Amino acid sequence: MIILKADYKKYNVSELEKLRFDEEEFYKMFDNAILLQTCNRVELIFDADSLDEIKGIENIDLKKFDILYGDEAIEHIFRVACGLESMIVGEDQILGQLKNAYLKAKEKGKISKKLEKIILKAIHTGQRARVETNINKGGVSIGSAAVELAEKIFGLEGKNVLLIGAGEMATLVIKALKEKNIKAIIVANRTYEKAEKLAKELGGIAINFDKLEEALRYADIVISATGAPHPILNKERLKNAGKTVIIDIANPRDTTDDIRELPDIFLFTIDDLRLVAEENLKKRKDEIPKVELIIEEELRNLKEILDKMKFEKVIQEFGQYIENMRKREVEKALKILKNKNKPVEEVLDNFSKAMCKKIIYDVIKIFENIEDEEIFEKLAKHLKNVNN
């Protein structure tokens, strides 16, 4: 197995964007391969032992990728599935992305049996890690921490949530809210089309900024994440909002400090959320050794599976070799029977001796090139038992 890897550790998002492949073109170019692409990584996964085996590899600028081989590559994909290689340790999204990449390769008929075994085992390992450890517990992005804080303070079930903004941070909030049983979501943004697109993800509604005061009175929880250069929420704008939790995750801030003077408004800023996120991240990092033990166990299991597959392939090829030899010798025997008046018993006896000699000769040649004495000892012991 070989992986060509480029990720957030080496490139920023815009640089990674330039390394991305068109899926259709990738699968036209390569066989026995999987393309894994996210906003934080581009990984080309091949069932090959060397780059020379990969047809079409000359079309890739290899200098832009880190190259992992064999066991190192397999362990890496297990770590990816478990979220240990993610920017946010233990995040769940990568597992779904790996599943989708696998299904796309399978749909295209581009995945080998060996590669399928490895990826399915990696996915299983990622699932185990999330069930048996706390590697994915607690929000560690500012967006997920905002949702977690709102849930702890006020509860989210049956609540009306107003999200102000529709950029990257707001998208993280929406992802975190998807798992919650909220009553309604309203997305407000200066560009209505962006608000509408984001609202659709949760079956919510989008509004323009001119409806913001009305939405503030309706909302139980307000999460503000705009890119505005100046505050958009102040004491005057919120004086009639009623009991409301406001979480400001914008930078620069969307809120003014005078909001805290309102008795029914509970304001939290990005500084409060950093403490939540950092504490959750520490807890996740404490779980990493537990996940690595699961990975070690599953890698041992996978090695047994791959060794068995390798043995089965050798047996299959050996069986094909015997069959081809049998056909050749049968043809010779039939010609002798047709052209010469030899007894059938004699022809069959000569046929069987000739075939055995060829098999023994070829097997000896094979074992002459193997230096492992243990193989000979096992073979000798097995033959002795069979003959006895």
Residue 291 lies in a domain: no
Residues 93 and 187 in one domain: no
Least Cα distance to 156 among 168, 141, 140, 139 occurs for 139
Residues 106 and 170 in one domain: no
356 among known catalytic residues? no
Say if residue 12 carries a ligand binding annotation.
no
Residues 155 and 249 in one domain: yes
114-150 burial string, b = 16+ CB within 10 Å, else e?
Answer: bbeebbebbbebbebbbeebbbbebbbbbbbbbbbbb
Say if residue 168 carries a ligand binding annotation.
yes
Say if residue 97 carries a ligand binding annotation.
yes
Say if residue 101 carries a ligand binding annotation.
no
Residue 294 lies in a domain: no
Structural domain tally of the chain? 3
Residues 46 and 103 in one domain: yes
Give the structural domain span for 363. 313-380
- The CATH code of the domain that includes 63 is 3.30.460.30
Residues 229 and 318 in one domain: no
Residue 298 lies in a domain: no
Residue 268 lies in a domain: yes
Among 13, 39, 330, 360, the one annotated catalytic: 39
In tens digits, the chain (388 residues) has pLDDT values of 999 999 988 988 788 889 999 999 999 999 999 999 987 899 999 999 999 999 999 999 999 999 999 999 999 999 999 999 987 788 888 899 999 999 999 999 999 989 999 999 999 999 999 999 999 887 777 777 778 888 887 888 888 999 998 877 777 777 777 778 888 889 999 889 988 988 888 788 999 988 998 999 999 989 898 888 889 999 999 988 888 989 888 888 899 999 999 999 989 887 777 777 778 888 899 999 999 999 999 999 999 888 887 777 767 777 787 888 788 878 877 877 777 777 888 878 887 888 888 877 777 776 676 666 666 666 666 656 656 5
Residues 149 and 249 in one domain: yes
Instruction: Please identify, among 132, 151, 178, the residue that sits at the C-terminal boundary of a domain.
Output: 132
Residue 73 lies in a domain: yes
Instruction: Please identify, among 132, 166, 185, the residue that sits at the C-terminal boundary of a domain.
Output: 132
Residues 46 and 169 in one domain: no
Residue 285 lies in a domain: no
**Residue 364, burial from CB neighbour count under 10 angstroms (0-12, 13-18, 19+):** exposed
Residues 320 and 261 in one domain: no
